Structure 1
Amino acid sequence: MTKASLSHEPVLVERQDGIIQLTLNSPENRNSLQTPGIYEGLMAGLEELEQDASLRAAIITGAGGAFCSGGDLRQLAAGSEEEVRRRMTRNTWLYRRIALSDKLIVAAVDGPAYGAGLGLATACDIVVAGQSAVFCCAFTRVGAMPDAALFWSLPARVGLSQARRLMLWAGEVKGAEAVSIGLADEHAPEGSALPLAQKLARRIAEGPARAFGRIKTGLRQSPMTLEQALGFQIDNAPPLFGSADFKEGASAFFEKRRPQFGQGE
């Protein structure tokens, strides 16, 4: 990928082949979300993902052996209740931006994803765990409760009983176990998560963007009742059958070749 940012910037931005890669770049703070510029850099990159039609997928990862350590305990302890509320309210827009995007976002997790860093990872559509990945809903270790949209994302991924266990006891979960309980989707047991995340992002970028987007929207509304599911499919599926991607997919099927999606956009 081609770098478009200098190495000292808090979020490095790289773009290639329809993918934007956002790397949290504050290793000295273990890529804390409270590092100046991290929030702004992530929001700017996600806005670019939305506005640039040539970008079809995103990767969020961390530099220096950590994904994201979440909040800065020193800042949180020193802040007033109102300051914490204001900061937390601002941060809600980051999780909304990830969840409400029509485009798929991959988290490449190497090293710790703790606290709000766990929330950042689990808000993404696909979570790839590297050899060193460690996930922890660490809030009760310091007398706090989960934020970072975790009451939405964690039960959706692992179920209510597992979410309860992770939230209450704040245990660490490593790569293979994370996949087994649904906390992560893929595990790179012998190295970094990033190459596998990039491979999956390329697959997304080459895939049927509108279909992926509708699937993401439907899953965001899960669990649905039977009637909600049937209504959602009636509202959303018919337009896809008239799309250029479907026509290409059908032609490729009959011609026994790989489809080239996105050509008619």
Structure 2
Amino acid sequence: MSGHSDERIQVTRDGEVAIVTIDNPGRRNALGRQMRLALRDTIHQLMVADSESRAIVLTGAGGQFSAGADISEMTKRTVLQSREILDESCQVVREMLSGPKPVVAAVEGSAFGAGLSLAVATDHLVAASNARFCAAFMRIGLLPDTGILWTLPKKIGMSKARELLSLAREIDGVEAGRIGLANQVVEPGQALSAAIDYARALAQQPPLGMALLKSALTWSTEDMDAALRAEIDFQPILRQSRDHLEAASAFIEKRAPVFIGQ
């Protein structure tokens, strides 16, 4: 994968938590093509090559998560050009879903269109009570994209997903919590700090176990046989891991385990 950089995708650190910020507040953190490529490469780098972080927080600058795709770039394209750009967007989602580290979204303000898709593709979502969520694609005659056809039904169920995707209805953070879109709902202005706390707790879990749990939940829950096969394939690996043996020893010795991801 070739490297792409964009100063509007920022990475900061809070211990073992990497915080990725979409920093384009003048356009409500709308994502242009170069920003999407930089976000993809940033998530990939954090997932695969970064040894300092064990969890990732995705957020937006200026009190907004993301308004979605940058409308100013939506000039007329050929079908093949559009396919290439959509594939790049899907690569961002694939990096978050397939990567071994948990990703937590911190949503203030609006998460619309592809911005909502990014938030839904995270493992856990923390929302301000007054945040606004909308799958706005149908408002402009487009198919919901950036992975949301897969992720939203898995998160909130097919019936509710059909409603939100078909009607492009806005909901706030409180309703997002009620329907299971948000894992935690907090006061306005508190989403990032709450998401970092959430990510810190996830970072304390055994890294190898977390990686295989993410894989099982993402790819092996469509039917009973796939779920059982994930148990049979993954559990023996974890039973032989140093982290499992450390946890067993820590339990016997009445101390906190120290996990190293092996």
Work out whether the TM-score is over 0.5. yes
What corresponds to 2:131 in structure 1? 133
What corresponds to 1:3 in structure 2? none
Partner of 2:251, secondary structure, is helix
What corresponds to 1:237 in structure 2? 235
More deviation in 72-81 or 196-205?
72-81
1:23-56 deviation line (CA, Å, top 9, x unaligned): 000001111111x642233123212211123321
> Which of 196, 201, 205 is equivalent to 1:207?
205
> Which of 177, 180, 183 is equivalent to 2:181?
183
Contact 2:36/2:88 (CA < 8 Å) preserved in 1?
no
Residues 89-108 of structure 1: pairs in structure 2 closer than 5 A: 89-108=87-106
RMSD, aligned CA: 1.8
What corresponds to 2:3 in structure 1? none
Residue 193 in 1 paired to residue 191 in 2?
Answer: yes
Report the number of matched residues. 256
* Alignment CA distance shift 1:222-1:165 (3 Å): farther
CA shift, 1:74, in A, is 3.5
What corresponds to 2:148 in structure 1? 150
Partner of 1:182, secondary structure, is coil
TM-score by length of 2: 0.91
| Structure 2: runs of 5 or more not aligned | 1-5
The separation in 2 between residues aligned to 1:252 and 1:195, in whole angstroms, is 30
CA shift, 1:72, in A, is 2.2
More deviation in 61-70 or 175-184?
175-184
More deviation in 42-51 or 78-87?
78-87
More deviation in 66-75 or 113-122?
66-75
The separation in 2 between residues aligned to 1:181 and 1:221, in whole angstroms, is 23
Corresponding letter in the other structure for 1:236: F
The separation in 1 between residues aligned to 2:220 and 2:139, in whole angstroms, is 30
The separation in 1 between residues aligned to 2:227 and 2:221, in whole angstroms, is 9
What corresponds to 1:164 in structure 2? 162
CA shift, 1:189, in A, is 2.8
TM-score by length of 1: 0.90
Contact 1:131/1:193 (CA < 8 Å) preserved in 2?
no
CA shift, 1:171, in A, is 0.9
What corresponds to 2:35 in structure 1? 38
The separation in 1 between residues aligned to 2:163 and 2:178, in whole angstroms, is 15
| Structure 1: runs of 5 or more not aligned | 1-7
